[in-house]
A and B are shown apart, each in its own frame.
Chain A
Amino acid sequence: MSGLLPLTGRELKKWYRNMVFFITGLLQPIFWIALFGSAFDIAKFLPHSALENTFGTTSYITFIIGGVLTSTSLFTALFSGTSIIFDRRLGNMARFLVSPIHRSSIVFAKVLSTTVRILVQAVILIGVAFIIPNGLILSNGISLLGIFIITAALIMVAFSFSSIFSIIAIRLKRQETIFGIINLINLPLLFASYALFPPSFMPAWLRNVAAYNPVSWSSQAIRNVILNGTLTGSVLNSTLEYMLYLLLLTIFMLVLVYFVSEKEIRD
């Protein structure tokens, strides 16, 4: 797809050259894990046996790491659409539209560069989770398949959500509109999911909603890997099921982005 690589390169260049943007992007997940993980550390109030039963671990950070990875991915992805609006407002889009590149590559470049940024954040986040007190413990080790599942889940969350928000941005002229939408849905997406608490903590209605939330799928798949090390039996099946949902969503979004952006993107 012509234009995809140069445009993705442009995005990444703009990212690492803007030091404030670059560093805040990297600090954000650290704050998440260090502050949220400590402030909400329920493990302090409950006996170990109860923790093992509901969380599957005595370390809350170990429990929520899948959720924090997913939500970091989500929050970064939500903003990828905004740069389409800025490209339009700053005139760069006019240049792209008269160049012999696929119009969808303009949008896919946003999606791809966002994904790269998210993966860098994820590596830092996992590193920090290991070193902070009462942090991440991989008591059952981790397999190559596990690492693959974590990476794939994050990539799919990044792809899906940045695609959704890029499509929203394709015809928008004002960035305020998209900021409004992001603010409206980011917290519901996070809290109506299994990211921070197990389904057993939720009222039935919320649990039903959360079951359809892609944030839940990714959080739970990663959590299964982190808590169990090697996946077998029903845990393996449920993990693969979540991954399948994510895959279907991703494919659907990619096809949608392709057709919508080829046809609808405007100067």
Chain B
Amino acid sequence: MHKDEYVIETDKLAKTYPGGIKAVKGIDMKIQRGQIYGFLGPNGAGKTTTIKMLSTSIKPTSGTARVMGYDISKDSMKVRKVIGVVPQDLTTDEDLKGIENMELVGRFYDIPPRESRKKAEELLDLVDLTEFGNKYVSTYSGGMRKRLELIVGLIHNPKVLFLDEPTLGLDVQTRTKMWEYIRKVKEEFGMTIVLTSHYLEEVDELADIISIIDHGQIVVTGTPEELKNSLQGDIIEATFSDSMQSKKFGEYSKSVDVTYPKENVVRMKVKDSDMEVPHIMKYMSDNNLSPIRFSISKPSLDQVFLDYTGREIREEEAGDTRKAQMNMRRLRK
């Protein structure tokens, strides 16, 4: 083992696909041991391409990366031995039983059959699939298949686990359950996890460090808290019935950042809404202002994303419906 302090380190890692699509335009990142590192970004941002390069299934066009100290291009076989991958698409064989799928993968790593079987049983137990281990994967539900995918990538005790959109196409309840399993895996094996997602809640919930990625580049990196704090403040939004009132409200204070997203709508960015709201209330009653709508929002990753990329991630998901549906169809099959 290399004694690098970082489990993953990239240097201007880039990928241009044949046909000229620049999927990843030079990514520099460092991932520490034991972290859950979340890649957040809309579809087409370059998340999957980055994961595929780091997990050696495609080669970068330029730049380098090391995983556990091994160069992904020169030592790809060594990299494969120490990583576990749960790709975005389902990879298990429907014509085999759950446990057979795991044993097959175990043999890829030259794990002795007996050891492989024991480990497979442990892992099936971990994700509550024990009673389905001897059933054909074709009989699994979508959620069960995703759980199987998760543990197939763990049979050889990897040091780093890549999870590419682990909950894509799952319903909300199943997704929450999946998060639990991912946390359990982290606790049990203490590995470093690299996770991609376009669900804000998911990275917020799971990741220690987040990189927001857009158009093939990392826009910002930090802990969820840091990113939220970087917005510097809460948002107060008030809607009035006429422009007289809204204008008056906008003159509340010179030290507060005021915008007018719509006519008669005032948005204020305040450092700490808990402290500011009493003053605002007083100002409104002194000036006879009566809003029809009044809201206070603490920063969310949604806003962080909006702030750094200039668009809401939700907008992106619309175009993604078709892909999600296709995935669901395959999951149900």
Contacts and interface: CB of A to CB of B under 8 A. Distances in A.
B77 A100 contact: yes
Nearest to B51: A98
A6 B57 contact: no
A14 interface: yes
B149 to A, nearest CB: 9
A3 B108 CA distance: 5
Given A100-B77, A100-B109, A267-B57, A91 B89 contact: yes
Contacts of B57: 94, 97-98, 267
B89 A99 contact: no
Interface in B56-74: 56-58
A84 to B, nearest CB: 14
B80 A100 contact: yes
A10 interface: yes
Contacts of B77: 100
Contacts of B94: 90
Nearest to B162: A98
B91 A91 contact: yes
A17 B80 contact: no
Contacts of B80: 98-100
Nearest to B55: A98
A89 B47 CA distance: 21
A91 B108 contact: no
B71 to A, nearest CB: 15
Interface string A161-201: 00000000000000000000000000000000000000000
Contacts of B96: 10, 13-14
A98 B83 contact: yes
Contacts of B276: none
B152 A95 contact: yes
Interface extent on B, as a size class? 20 to 34
Given A94-B57, A95-B152, A101 B108 contact: yes
Contacts of A97: 56-57
A10 B96 CA distance: 8
A68 to B, nearest CB: 30
Interface string A1-33: 011011001100110011000000000000000
A139 interface: no
Interface in B9-64: 52, 55-58
B107 A18 contact: no
A92 interface: yes
B332 to A, nearest CB: 15
A167 to B, nearest CB: 19
Interface in B62-119: 77, 80-81, 83, 85, 87, 89-96, 100, 104-105, 107-110
Given A14-B95, A95-B152, A6 B107 contact: yes
Contacts of A6: 104, 107-108
A171 B87 CA distance: 20
A100 B81 contact: yes
Nearest to B78: A100
A91 B89 CA distance: 6
Contacts of A18: 95
A94 B108 contact: no
Given A94-B87, A97-B57, A98-B85, A10 B93 contact: yes
B286 to A, nearest CB: 64
B77 to A, nearest CB: 5
Nearest to A10: B104
B89 A100 contact: no
A-B pairs with lowest CB-CB distance, top 5: A95-B91, A6-B107, A99-B108, A91-B89, A100-B80
Interface of A: 2-3, 5-6, 9-10, 13-14, 17-18, 90-92, 94-101, 266-267
16 contacts: A2-B108, A6-B107, A6-B108, A10-B96, A10-B104, A13-B96, A91-B90, A91-B91, A94-B87, A94-B91, A95-B85, A95-B87, A97-B57, A99-B105, A99-B109, A266-B58
Given A14-B96, A97-B57, 19 more contacts: A3-B108, A6-B107, A10-B93, A10-B96, A10-B104, A14-B93, A17-B95, A18-B95, A90-B90, A90-B93, A91-B90, A92-B91, A92-B92, A98-B57, A98-B85, A100-B77, A100-B80, A100-B81, A100-B109
